[in-house]
Amino acid sequence: MMKLAPRDPSLVSTYDRKLGTRSWALTGGRVIDPANRRDEIGEVYVRDGKIVAEIPVNESVEVIDCSGLIVCPGLIDLHVHLREPGQGSKETVATGTRAAAAGGFSTIVAMPNTKPVADGPNTIAWLRQRIAETAIVNVYTTGCISQNMAGEALAPIGSLKQAGVVAITDDGKCIQNNELMRRALEYAQMFDLPLLDHCQDYALSEGGVMNEGYWSTVLGLQGWPAIAEEVIVGRNALLAELTGGTVHCQHLSSAGSVRLVREAMQRGVKISAEVMPHHLALTDESIAGYDTNFKMNPPLRTKRDIAALLEGVADGTIEILGSDHAPHATYEKEVEFSEAPFGILGLETELSLFVKTLIEPGVISWAKMIEKLTINPAKLLRLDKGTLSPGADADITLIDPAREWVVDKEKFQSKSRNTPFHGWELKGKAVATVVAGEFVFSC
């Protein structure tokens, strides 16, 4: 991973004063490391930016008391839009990684729908240089499936792999040509790259701006039916089965999609899925006020869909949690609902919203949730992350499960403000983020 830029002093505070030596210990916290099936009150030792099993007895060690906190591997978000190059008015690598650090994420994965799109090694090289200069957390890059994300011809997948991408995706768009998708899966398998897919049939969803159903009828807005997602999820499962490739279905939103992924997994298909907090915390009824901050793709759906998504998280059908962090400038969202862009911010509220939707109702345990935010995305993307094993980089997140806070978009580290959660009272928050043994955020 590239060398990190100097941390921003506005993001760090009390913990910094404790790092006067090369070795230090986090003690007294609840250590949750799903990769090693560890869940206990214990210690984590760091030496020269790496996790170690112990510190030599004759070496000076600084101790950080983590009583009352959860100590876990640095959280990973595999679905983030950093907007650079080309859309710096919305977000930059610098501001996006500040937001990630503030949300407890030591590693994020950047989507390729930039301007220009990341469909060739030159754009990847530019982005990696920007990451080296300005990022304060680990950032991995993805490349496009198709040239110019047009869905007509494959991007140079081998060259993208050589340039350093960890996956291919046309996120924001969906390959409609089934033959092209088949070949993409075959090439991705050849280069040992997972393929991440935004599942949307354009013919079925054309013109849709919210979930097709009762509320779209009441509000007079064009519907985006769940079947438009489910058709592509089913297509992906069949093609993955045919080719033996690995396909990951992004931001599931419907009950039918969960069922299709579950059935494919039971057949041994190499398919996985993720869910975002807004699809668990909100329904299409939330759009009753025509607030464009509730407009996203795929759209908010029904309570029935949420119940199915929660069941999928609980039974392991949905193995990964993400944010789909999608910044937009305020002026872009302050238009008629049908004209506004899809997408909301996610990095700084993600963890707490998952606490609200998954931990507080007892859907899954803290250990299971952290597994879906650490080792599971790391395994999918073949990253040497998501663990507190000795020898691993000291990427660590400290979480206060009892911390209560109110979402204030004006205090976000992100450059944008497009969130539907402003003013929400939440519980559970990352209080420190460590990357390679350095505190890049604490509060």
Asked whether residue 134 is assigned to any structural domain, the reply reads: yes
Domain boundary among 380, 402, 430: 380
How far CA 171 is from CA of 281, 299, 419, in Å, comes to 22, 15, 20
Average pLDDT for residues 358-363, to the nearest whole number?
98
Domain boundary among 335, 350, 380: 380
Are 270 and 332 in the same domain? yes
374 with 76: CB under 8 angstroms? yes
The predicted-structure confidence for 226-282, as pLDDT tens digits, reads as follows 999 999 999 999 999 999 999 999 999 999 999 999 999 999 999 999 999 999 999
Average pLDDT for residues 289-310, to the nearest whole number?
98
The per-residue pLDDT for 21 is 53
Q: Which residue among the candidates 324, 393, 395, 400 is catalytic per the annotation? A: 324
**Full domain range(s) for residue 41:** 9-71+392-442
- Mean predicted lDDT score pLDDT of the chain: 94
Average pLDDT for residues 312-339, to the nearest whole number?
97
pLDDT at 2 over 80: no
The per-residue pLDDT for 6 is 35
Are 24 and 159 in the same domain? no
Domains in the chain, number: 2
- The pair of structure tokens assigned to 282 is 């909100």
Asked whether residue 1 is assigned to any structural domain, the reply reads: no
Confidence of residue 22 (pLDDT cuts 50, 70, 90): confident
pLDDT at 7 over 70: no
324 assigned to active site: yes
413: domain CATH number? 2.30.40.10
pLDDT at 19 over 80: no
The DSSP 8-state label assigned to residue 156 in this structure reads -
In sequence order, what are the beta bridge partners of 247?
A: 195, 271
How far CA 284 is from CA of 278, 287, 306, in Å, comes to 11, 6, 11
Are 173 and 129 in the same domain? yes
Are 63 and 195 in the same domain? no
96 with 103: CB under 8 angstroms? no
Peptide bond into 277 cis (omega under 30): no
Asked whether residue 153 is assigned to any structural domain, the reply reads: yes
Asked whether residue 4 is assigned to any structural domain, the reply reads: no
pLDDT at 9 over 90: no
The predicted-structure confidence for 198-242, as pLDDT tens digits, reads as follows 999 999 999 999 999 999 999 999 999 999 999 999 999 999 999
Domain boundary among 360, 380, 400: 380
How far CA 302 is from CA of 213, 255, 341, in Å, comes to 9, 9, 21
Q: What are 6-14's contacts with CB under 8 Å, separation 24+?
A: 7/136, 7/438, 7/439, 7/440, 8/98, 8/136, 11/98, 11/101, 11/102, 11/136, 11/413, 11/440, 11/441, 11/442, 12/439, 12/440, 12/441, 12/442, 13/442, 13/443, 14/442
Average pLDDT for residues 369-389, to the nearest whole number?
98
Are 138 and 46 in the same domain? no
Residue with tokens 């025509």: 290
Confidence of residue 12 (pLDDT cuts 50, 70, 90): very low
Are 304 and 425 in the same domain? no
pLDDT at 14 over 90: no
Average pLDDT for residues 417-440, to the nearest whole number?
97
Are 88 and 47 in the same domain? no
**Picking from 21-35, 243-257, 322-336, 339-353, which range would have the lowest pLDDT averaged per residue?**
21-35
Are 290 and 184 in the same domain? yes
Asked whether residue 105 is assigned to any structural domain, the reply reads: yes
Are 94 and 136 in the same domain? yes
Helix (H) or strand (E) holding 429: strand 425-435
318 with 265: CB under 8 angstroms? no
Asked whether residue 305 is assigned to any structural domain, the reply reads: yes
Phi, psi of 202 (to 5 degrees): -70, -35
Number of neighbouring beta carbons within 10 Å of residue 234: 19
**Residue ranges with strand state E in 246-322:** 247-249, 271-275, 320-321
Confidence of residue 57 (pLDDT cuts 50, 70, 90): confident
Are 293 and 321 in the same domain? yes
346: domain CATH number? 3.20.20.140
Burial class (CB in 10 A: 0-12, 13-18, 19+), 160: buried
- The pair of structure tokens assigned to 403 is 């911390």
Are 417 and 357 in the same domain? no
pLDDT at 293 over 70: yes
Amino acid 71 reads V
pLDDT at 3 over 80: no
Are 212 and 343 in the same domain? yes
Average pLDDT for residues 142-167, to the nearest whole number?
98
Distance between CA atoms of 50 and 390, rounded to whole angstroms?
Answer: 7
- The pair of structure tokens assigned to 358 is 């998954």
- Collapsing DSSP to helix, strand or coil, 283 comes out as coil
**Nearest C-alpha neighbor of 80 from the set 235, 232, 274:** 274
**Nearest C-alpha neighbor of 74 from the set 4, 20, 165:** 4
